[in-house]
Amino acid sequence: MASGSRYDKLRTIDMPVLIIHGQADPFIPIEHGIKSAELIPYVECLWVEGMAHDLPDAYIDVVIEKKIESIQRAE
């Protein structure tokens, strides 16, 4: 919050981006992830139900699988 909004700069990203966001994140609400996804031109998203701000072992497989898919599409 101290550095201000960075939303305008997101529109200038010119490369594939993967947003991974926990739907239960208490620090950065999912609405911010959704807003970011709307602004970034080449974006893929993984909204993880039940995940908060951390990456518990239970979600590692789904996150890694999505990262691999995203990298393969970008190649």
- State the Cα–Cα distance between residues 9 and 73, nearest whole angstrom: 24
pLDDT at 75: 79
- State the Cα–Cα distance between residues 28 and 56, nearest whole angstrom: 17
Domains in the chain: boundaries: 7-74
pLDDT at 22: 96
The first and second tokens of residue 32, run together, are 């911010």
Query: Coil, helix or strand for 31?
Result: helix
Give residue-wise pLDDT tens across range 27-60: 999 999 999 999 999 999 999 999 999 999 999 9
- State the Cα–Cα distance between residues 75 and 56, nearest whole angstrom: 28
68 pLDDT more than 80: yes
